[in-house]
Amino acid sequence: MESRRMAWVWFAALVISAASTEAIGVNWGTQMSHPLPPKMIVQMLKDNGIKKVKMFDAESSVMSALANTGIEVMVAIPNDQLEHMGTYSNAKAWVHENVTGYKDVNIKYVAVGNEPFLKSYNGTFLETTFPALKNIQKALDEMGYNQIKATVPMNADIYSSPEDNPVPSAGDFRSDIHDLMVNIARFLNSHGSPFVINIYPFLSLYENPSFPVDFAFFGGGGRSINDKGTQYTNVFDANFDTLVWALKKAGISNMKIIVGEIGWPTDGSKHANVADAKRFYDGSLKKLGSNAGTPLRPGPMDVYLFALIDEDMKSILPGYFERHWGIFTYDGKPKFPMDLLGKGNDKYLVGASGVEYQDAEWCVFDPNAKNQNEVPSSMNFACSNGDCTALMGSSPCSKLDRNGRISYAFNMYFQMKDQDVRTCDFDGLAKITSTNASRDGCLFPIQIVNTAGRRLAELGLPMLSWIAVLLFL
């Protein structure tokens, strides 16, 4: 009797803990010059127990790789398609191709646009977002997918508290979009759809040099905000609860809120480094694992980390850090130890296996070459067409000497171009070497084999580069 009761208690505890902890999700972006094969990434997700992904479109190779995995997917419609979705038949065509077309993919949400009301978009998507949202939900419902919810991931810049009273309870939606946001929130709420918000303590710190550093993390000990007796010891909670207040003021008190993006970059600016990223992830994962929630929303939170892998083709307008958000490097290596369950059992996540690299060849600067006066323009060319963002941050690469920096820039371009010999010339300033050019703690990467490039190889196109070599001889 006693042991049977014990067993029941154990069973109940298991069920409760399984039901009360939301599994962590990840954002899977694909703005890379050399994306890892989607199947390899899906294997990484499985190996690390990641059961939810958020996408930025509905790329067919990615969707196919997710089929029959059970992984829960938030698929997306990019901002530049929002206007198109304003016509109902186009929305239906989208659902037909990208939902019906992937019956074996566990699609749970459709993200209609991505942060469309971002201040820096100057209102470009103000007119088109809500009609697109309504059309997509209507199409989903009519085509028999009413369990799939359409939503609009928003950046936390859609709401704020007044500067002279910076507490969550004083917060509301931005005045230029206030009524629109209230209408969207009410629409989502009435359809049982979640509000999706992206919250970036890193950006608070990046944009405001006098921001109290500790407040961006989760350890407490720094500044705290007292909101009528509620104590906020980190900016994430304060930010999240500002949204809860804004919704409350719109008459919505209990809708589901998903944190669509949370993360910390590892390069490209002062606070973008591995130590700070680890500190942020340790704190946030521990918080999530404990189901503490925020003062206004205690309990489990539904959160997607940003991001799974570095993306070397992302725009650097927001900052050089943009290409360094991954918890994995471009080639699927974990950057630092972490525990996705938030229990503090830090270890390196399981990386990609079976990655195919290009040859062990680097392109480096030849300081003895003629044409030294061409260095600035060559460097400019290499950096505009390659990726020099690691030179601009606080990582070891940023501390390279002049020659090292030039070599780094040349090599990144050469790798980006699949080691095509013609891309390691720079008016004779560069040469190819098989000696590992990495130095002073700065990794000079070798790119992975480009699947798109391989397709060209099958067509025999890279032969051209060999013809070029032969002609030069």
Least distance in angstroms from the C-beta of 322 to ligand NAG: 15
> What stretch of H or E contains 151?
strand 149-151
CA quadruple 443, 27, 152, 246: dihedral sign: negative
Pick between residue 320 and residue 444 the one whose CB is nearest to ligand NAG.
444
**Is residue 446 part of the contact set for ligand NAG (CB under 6 A)?**
yes
Torsions phi, psi for 23 (to 5 deg): -70, 145
Least distance in angstroms from the C-beta of 117 to ligand NAG: 12
Name the segment binding ligand NAG (CB under 6 A); options: 38-46, 120-128, 150-158, 214-222: 120-128
Is there a catalytic annotation at residue 115? yes
Residue 327: DSSP 8-state: S
Among 8, 11, 121, 466, binds ligand NAG (CB under 6 A): 121
For the chain, report the end-to-end CA distance as a whole number of angstroms: 88
Pick between residue 371 and residue 436 the one whose CB is nearest to ligand NAG.
436
Q: Where are the alpha helices (DSSP H) in 34-190?
A: 38-47, 60-66, 88-98, 129-142, 178-190
Pick between residue 116 and residue 168 the one whose CB is nearest to ligand NAG.
116
| Site of tokens 């680097």 | 362
**Is residue 199 part of the contact set for ligand NAG (CB under 6 A)?**
no
**Is residue 436 part of the contact set for ligand NAG (CB under 6 A)?**
yes
Pick between residue 98 and residue 233 the one whose CB is nearest to ligand NAG.
98
CA proximity to 116, closest of 189, 181, 38, 208:
181
Among 15, 213, 275, 360, binds ligand NAG (CB under 6 A): 360
Q: What is the phi-psi region of residue 400: left when phi exceeds 0, alpha when psi lies from -120 to 50, beta otherwise?
A: beta
Least distance in angstroms from the C-beta of 95 to ligand NAG: 8
Among 28, 94, 125, 173, binds ligand NAG (CB under 6 A): 94
Beta strands at 225-227 and 230-232: parallel, antiparallel or unpaired: antiparallel
Pick between residue 94 and residue 321 the one whose CB is nearest to ligand NAG.
94
CB 20 within 8 A of CB 291: yes
Least distance in angstroms from the C-beta of 44 to ligand NAG: 19
CB 183 within 8 A of CB 131: no
CA proximity to 346, closest of 323, 322, 327, 326:
327
Is there a catalytic annotation at residue 142? no
Least distance in angstroms from the C-beta of 72 to ligand NAG: 18
Pick between residue 369 and residue 449 the one whose CB is nearest to ligand NAG.
449
Dist CA 297 CA 248 (whole Å): 12
Among 41, 44, 58, 158, binds ligand NAG (CB under 6 A): 58
- The set of catalytic residues is 115, 261
Binding site for ligand NAG (CB under 6 A): 57-59, 93-94, 97-98, 120-122, 124, 360, 436, 438, 443, 446
